[in-house]
Amino acid sequence: MIRLDYSTEPRRDILCIDVKSFFASVESVKRGIHPLKSYIVVMSKPEQEGGLVLAASPRVKEEYGIKTGSRRYEIPKNSNIQIVEPRMSLYLKVNVMINDIFQEFISSEDLHIYSIDESFLDVTSSHALFGTTKEIAVKIQQAIWQRLHLVTAIGIGDNPLLAKLALDNEAKDSPNFMADWHYEDVEKTIWRIHPITEMWGVGNKTANNLVKLGIDSVYRLSQHDVSALKRVQGVIGEQLFYHAHGIDRSILSEKYQTLSKSYGKSQILDRDYIQQAEIEVVIKEMAEQVAARLRSHYVETQVVHLTIGFSKEVSEKGFSHQLKVFPTAASQKIMDTCLYLFRAHYQQEPVRQISISCGKIQAKTDVQLNLFESEEQTIRKEKIDQIIDLVRNKYGYTSLVHASSLTSGATAIKRNGLVGGHKG
């Protein structure tokens, strides 16, 4: 049996905190109902049969099997489930309140916000003021309940991985919504996680790849030859081996800064778009918005990527292509590139999803002159973009729009007031 030596591994006191059924719980509290006793589903586009469940209260999950990702038509017609539309601005506001409570116990450097409803806290330096790790966890849990009436589950561990696994695999279902996993517990905790997809970082695709190696459990993963894993799965295989032994050397206060990133925008359309002109209007709107984001961050792109998803009624999924461009953040250039990619590959299929991303980002310095246009043309286009950005930043996006954005297929004006793609 392979057992690793943990004596040299760093030990931190980490909490992984999750607000149970966050969106649904916030809606329950707003209605004066205990989050664990409500029958509430938060749904995007509830007027449509394909409306998507964003969150379901614990009772709805338990009694009806409705969960995130379920559809409107899966909800029983005569149930006592209350369907509500998402209020993203409200959820963000509550998220800020929760993070403020966290920072009463730790510094901002020791807080890592994993998602809108889940965070990691390093409380190693907080013991002198607030007690043991377990006492701090209880105090935070009570503070959030007393002030916001939200129920939290907390995983405790010697590193972020152990805390996360404790949360997902025990705390969420324990009577006090708390669980404590440490290096010494690996054999009776991590190795017993089943199925293997319940292991953080192992999705269905990775699980299928592991099965081909004869690995169908976390225990077998922990006992496999790490060199063989690395040869087949690369660095991810090596990481999975050490994760199966509970090893994670990341320090929350040591923030990772990416050297490069991409800027993009994705949109699921309200209906199938079958007219090419309508599709192109949306592509132009999205491309212009992505270009404005590039300019707001003083960067330029060298690669433009367009992904088109077809209707579920079509057997083909869609297409995805990219094109290298002269470094730019110009709206017209990015729009033209996206339209070129679209027209080169579009075959009159109904479209339901559009995604645009700009990669190979570099910082903008001076005006870069394109060999295919004059200096006057380049400077003129840049000034036009700057004026448009200035007007929109001051008076709002809808203060200055293209005439095409007033046509029936356009979406930019309607989506302008949305937060995260949903009503604020």
Q: What residues act catalytically? A: 118
Residue 106 CA to residue 63 CA, distance in Å, equals: 38
Integer CA distances (angstroms), 354 to 273, 319, 397, in order:
11, 10, 20
Displacement of CA 309 from its chain's centroid (Å): 20
Residue the block writes with tokens 């329950």: 28
Beta strands at 40-44 and 82-84: parallel, antiparallel or unpaired: parallel
DSSP SS3 for 34 = coil
User: Which residues have a Cβ under 8 Å from the Cβ of 398 and sit 6 or more positions away?
Assistant: 413, 416
Per-residue burial over 383-393, b = 16 or more CB atoms within 10 Å of its CB, e = otherwise = eebeebbeebe
- Helix%, strand%, coil% for the chain, nearest 5: 45, 20, 35
Beta carbons of 334 and 328 less than 8 angstroms apart: yes
Displacement of CA 30 from its chain's centroid (Å): 25
Residue 287 CA to residue 305 CA, distance in Å, equals: 10
DSSP state of 369: P
User: 330: closest CA among 374, 367, 278, 355?
Assistant: 367
Q: Is the dihedral of CA 147, 148, 153, 157 positive or negative?
A: negative
Residue 55 CA to residue 346 CA, distance in Å, equals: 35
User: Which residues have a Cβ under 8 Å from the Cβ of 70 and sit 6 or more positions away?
Assistant: 52, 53, 56
Copy the structure tokens of residue 410.
């356009």
User: Which residues have a Cβ under 8 Å from the Cβ of 125 and sit 6 or more positions away?
Assistant: 106, 107, 110
